[in-house]
Structure formats: structure tokens, C-alpha cells
């Protein structure tokens, strides 16, 4: 079995490389990083690949214009698309058109994916298999796909970076896992930073680590409007034990006595290592905050618990449905093998794009330009923007008018939040 991984941002590179590393040793595996606006810095790339067996030198950067030729030359049995949703849609079209050798196309989401979202399914509606990481995710995405008439195959895999984590070593650091888009507003992020300052002052003998995915100005899977390190520069009398750090989360958890977050997947990593967790719920428990998954876990708590040092372990009854299922429950390897066998038996047609839109080739060029930004230098891309931007504004206006005239949809609004990391 020959597998080619294609990745494009810090969290997706970490996920893709980790998934590849968990595949059977007999499979041939390689990883490419495609240039997009989310291209990580050299330091972010090293952190994302840490512990996966892949290196920056062995994971070459590739332009979209060269990707079809690479796929045609490599002739992989499987292409793992570890890229953001808009890029998935562009790459599927390109790879299927690259030649007669049609690989099985697999994609997935790199972290907590509760609640299931229509947007995640929309972008991946043409892939052959979608990997998810909990029984609850399989159930929710399956129900959502069925309700919208989307035919999609799902497979269960343990979050790949949980596999080889050591047990907690009795550390004392309080590690806060920052996120680019949660919480969203400047006021909420300043308030959260204030709680971390208070926690550091309450415990001068312990380090409070503000763990970032990237420094201000570095690209991430989601853009960060108000970087925590920039906000921290504005804090007067900053406690000396409140420090900013970047690097692999596993290294920070090795010296952690507690992990604090709003909704980061780092909370799942901490649980796997036996590190106490606190998921702050002062801003609410909603789909947009990506913390609905922690309902019933026992780790939700307030800023008061953070300052008081009241950190928790997850309830046993929550674990099996939420990322801590038995290894025997996984079926992603057998699902990939079955998909490749089907492809060998005969032609595997490309699935229809869900909610296919008008525009033909112009629309496809528009999608490519929107996904790749400055890394799409084609004349067609610039022409598509010139035509598409005003047209898109008109379509959105028409949709708003129609929305006011029809009854509210039956789908729960929380299921329509933005696609997460």
C-alpha cells in the first residue's frame, strides 16, 4: 500500500503526520506540505512534526501547480488530505483529473469536532472516506449527513497524537492551551488573560505557561485577530511566573500539573497523560466555543476554579464515547483497505459535490483562488476574483432575502458553527 499525505497548516500537518505514523509499517508513507496562506513557519513546522517520525527536510513544500504531476508520478493507492476544508475541495478535483490512476481519497478533522458541522461535510463531500475520532463524532456526523442527504463513509480512529503519550510525571506547571478563535472578542481574551495573571499571582511558586500555537504574525489554521502574546505586552506588573511558550504540546504536558483551556484538543491529550484539566465555562458552553463535548465530563469549571487551583479528572462514564474508546473499536485501517480493494475492482467515480453551485470552470477557478490566495498566481484566478466578488455579494443578498421569507430550518443552529481545528 502506498500512501501520500498532503498537509497545509500547523494543526493539519500535526494530524496528517501523526495519522501516517500510525499506519501499518508495511505501508509506504510520504508527506508533502502544500503552499497556502496557512503555511507555517519553520519553527511551527518542526513542532507539528515532532514525534511523528517525519521531518521538515523530508516533507517537501509543493506548489499547487506542481501537485498534479507529483501525484501522477507517485501513483499512490491512497491520498490523505490533511488540509483545511476549502483546500480539500480544490485538491480533490485536481487529483482526480491528474491521470487514469485514481487513488482512494481520505480526509478528516484534526481535533475536537463536536458539534458536527454542515460546513465540514460540505467541503469534504467528494472524498471517499472521512476519519473521525470518537463514537460521538461518528454518530453526530452520520446523523447530520443523513439529514442533508449526503452520502459519506466514516471511520473511527483514536486521535493519533494520544497513542504514545507518557504518563504524567508529577509536574507543577499550569499550562493554558491558547486558541486562535476561542474566545473570539478582544474583551473576552483580555478577561481570560486577566484570570491567568491572577492565577500566577495566587501561586508564585508555580509557572503559569501561556502555550501558543504560534507567535503574533505567524500563520495558523485559523487566523488570530487578537494574539495573546501581544495582549500580554500591555499588562502592567506582569508576574514573573507567567511565561509565554511555543513548541510541541506533549513537551509542555510532561512538566504540567494542570492543563487549562476553553476547548482545545490539548485537554484530551492531558487526560490521556493523567494531567488534571479545567475547561473554563465562563463564556458559556456552546457550539461556537467548541466546548459542548465537555458536557458531562466533569472538567468544566469557572475562572474561580482556575485561580483557586481546582483542576479535575474526567468522569469515567464520559470517556468511551469521547475519544477514549477501546483500540479494538477502531476501523479506519480496515476501511482504507476496503476502499482500495473497491478501487481495484473497477472504476471509482467521483462523488457529486454537495450543493454544487453554478459557474462551471469559473467557479472552480474562484474556489482555487479563494483557498490559495497569493499562492495561486494564475491569470484565471485574478479574473475569477474580479467577476466573483461582486457576484458573490449579490448572491448573499438574495439568500438573505429568501431566508427572511421562509420558515426557520429544522437543523439546530449550533450545528452550523464554523469548521474547527
Is 56 among the domain residues?
Answer: yes
Q: Are 71 and 97 in contact (CB under 8 A)?
A: no
Same domain, 376 and 269: no
Is 118 among the domain residues?
Answer: yes
Least confident of 175-184, 295-304, 308-317, 341-350: 341-350
**pLDDT at residue 246 tops 50:** yes
416 pLDDT band, cuts 50/70/90, is very low
Same domain, 245 and 273: yes
- What does the pLDDT read at residue 371? 72
> What is the pTM assigned to this prediction?
0.84
Is 419 among the domain residues?
Answer: no
Same domain, 145 and 177: no
- What does the pLDDT read at residue 411? 44
Q: Which residue has the higher pLDDT, 120 or 385?
A: 120
**pLDDT at residue 409 tops 90:** no
- What does the pLDDT read at residue 168? 73
CATH number at residue 177: 3.40.50.2000
- What does the pLDDT read at residue 413? 41
Same domain, 232 and 152: no
What is the rounded average pLDDT for all residues in the chain? 87
Same domain, 145 and 224: no
Q: What is the pLDDT of residues 364-401, one digit of tens each?
A: 776 776 777 777 766 565 555 555 555 555 556 666 66
As a whole number of angstroms, the distance between CA 248 and CA 213 comes to 9
Strands 78-82 and 61-62: unpaired
As a whole number of angstroms, the distance between CA 412 and CA 398 comes to 23
363 pLDDT band, cuts 50/70/90, is low
Is 353 among the domain residues?
Answer: no
Section 5-24 average pLDDT: 95
- What does the pLDDT read at residue 250? 86
Residues 6+ apart with CB under 8 A from 177: 211, 249, 259, 260, 261, 264, 266, 267
Is 7 among the domain residues?
Answer: yes
As a whole number of angstroms, the distance between CA 400 and CA 338 comes to 43
Same domain, 152 and 209: no
Same domain, 288 and 207: yes
Same domain, 231 and 287: yes
Place of cell 498566481: 377
**pLDDT at residue 131 tops 50:** yes
Is 416 among the domain residues?
Answer: no
CATH number at residue 140: 3.40.50.11930
- What does the pLDDT read at residue 383? 57
Same domain, 215 and 95: no
- What does the pLDDT read at residue 393? 56
Range of the structural domain that residue 277 is part of: 173-319
Cα(first)–Cα(last) distance of the chain, in Å?
28
Same domain, 120 and 139: yes
347 pLDDT band, cuts 50/70/90, is confident
Is 163 among the domain residues?
Answer: no
The count of structural domains within the chain is 3
- What does the pLDDT read at residue 412? 43
- What does the pLDDT read at residue 263? 94
As a whole number of angstroms, the distance between CA 392 and CA 317 comes to 47
217 pLDDT band, cuts 50/70/90, is low
- What does the pLDDT read at residue 421? 41
Is 293 among the domain residues?
Answer: yes
- What does the pLDDT read at residue 338? 97
Same domain, 31 and 47: yes
Own/partner contacts of 226-230, CB < 8 Å, gap of 24 or more, are 226/186, 226/189, 228/178, 228/189, 228/193
**pLDDT at residue 84 tops 70:** yes
Q: What is the pLDDT of residues 139-197, one digit of tens each?
A: 999 999 999 999 999 999 999 988 777 777 789 999 999 998 899 899 999 999 999 99
**pLDDT at residue 107 tops 50:** yes
Least confident of 36-45, 182-191, 319-328: 36-45
Q: What is the pLDDT of residues 219-232, one digit of tens each?
A: 555 567 888 888 98
Same domain, 204 and 338: no
As a whole number of angstroms, the distance between CA 13 and CA 32 comes to 9
- What does the pLDDT read at residue 98? 76
Produce one character per residue of 165-198: b if its CB has 16 or more CB atoms within 10 Å, e if not.
beebeebebbbbbbbbbbbeeeebbeebbebbbb
Amino acid at each position: 500500500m502506498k500512501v501520500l499525505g498532503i498537509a497545509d497548516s500547523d494543526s493539519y500537518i500535526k494530524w496528517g503526520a501523526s495519522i501516517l505514523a500510525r499506519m501499518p509499517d508495511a505501508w509506504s508513507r510520504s508527506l508533502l506540505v502544500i503552499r497556502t496562506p496557512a503555511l507555517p513557519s519553520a519553527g511551527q513546522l518542526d513542532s507539528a512534526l515532532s514525534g511523528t517520525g517525519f521531518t521538515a527536510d523530508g516533507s517537501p513544500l509543493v506548489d499547487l501547480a506542481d501537485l498534479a504531476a507529483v501525484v501522477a508520478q507517485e501513483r499512490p493507492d491512497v491520498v490523505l488530505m490533511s488540509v483545511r476544508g476549502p483546500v480539500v475541495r480544490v485538491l480533490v478535483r485536481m487529483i482526480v483529473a491528474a491521470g487514469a490512476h485514481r487513488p482512494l481519497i481520505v480526509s478528516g478533522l484534526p481535533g475536537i469536532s463536536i458539534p458536527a458541522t454542515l460546513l465540514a461535510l460540505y467541503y469534504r463531500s467528494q472524498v471517499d472516506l472521512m476519519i473521525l475520532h470518537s463514537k460521538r463524532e461518528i454518530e453526530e456526523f452520520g446523523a447530520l449527513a443523513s439529514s442533508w442527504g449526503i452520502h459519506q463513509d466514516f471511520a473511527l480512529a483514536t486521535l493519533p497524537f494520544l497513542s504514545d503519550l507518557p504518563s504524567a510525571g508529577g509536574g507543577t506547571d499550569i499550562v493554558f492551551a491558547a486558541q486562535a478563535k476561542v474566545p473570539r472578542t478582544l474583551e473576552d481574551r483580555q478577561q481570560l488573560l486577566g484570570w491567568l495573571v491572577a492565577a500566577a499571582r495566587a501561586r508564585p511558586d508555580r509557572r503559569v505557561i501561556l502555550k501558543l500555537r504560534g507567535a503574533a504574525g505567524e500563520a495558523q489554521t485559523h487566523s488570530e485577530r487578537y494574539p495573546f502574546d501581544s495582549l500580554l505586552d500591555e499588562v502592567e506588573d506582569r508576574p514573573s511566573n507567567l511565561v509565554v511558550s511555543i513548541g510541541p504540546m506533549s513537551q509542555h504536558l510532561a512538566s504540567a500539573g494542570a492543563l487549562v483551556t476553553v476547548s482545545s484538543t490539548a485537554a484530551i491529550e492531558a487526560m490521556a497523560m493523567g494531567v488534571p484539566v479545567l475547561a473554563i465555562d465562563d463564556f458559556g458552553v456552546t457550539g461556537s466555543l467548541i466546548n459542548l463535548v465537555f458536557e458531562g465530563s466533569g472538567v468544566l469549571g469557572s475562572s474561580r476554579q482556575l485561580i483557586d487551583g481546582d483542576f479535575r479528572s474526567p468522569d469515567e462514564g464520559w470517556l468511551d464515547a469521547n475519544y477514549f474508546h477501546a483500540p479494538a473499536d477502531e476501523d479506519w485501517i480496515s476501511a482504507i483497505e476496503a476502499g482500495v480493494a473497491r478501487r481495484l475492482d473497477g472504476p471509482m467515480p467521483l462523488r457529486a459535490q454537495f450543493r454544487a453551485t453554478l459557474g462551471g470552470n469559473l467557479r472552480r477557478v474562484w474556489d482555487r483562488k479563494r483557498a490559495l490566495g497569493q499562492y495561486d498566481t494564475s491569470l484565471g484566478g485574478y479574473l475569477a476574483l474580479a467577476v466573483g466578488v461582486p457576484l458573490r455579494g449579490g448572491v448573499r443578498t438574495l439568500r438573505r432575502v429568501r431566508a427572511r421569507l421562509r420558515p426557520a430550518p429544522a437543523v439546530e443552529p449550533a450545528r452550523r458553527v464554523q469548521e474547527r481545528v
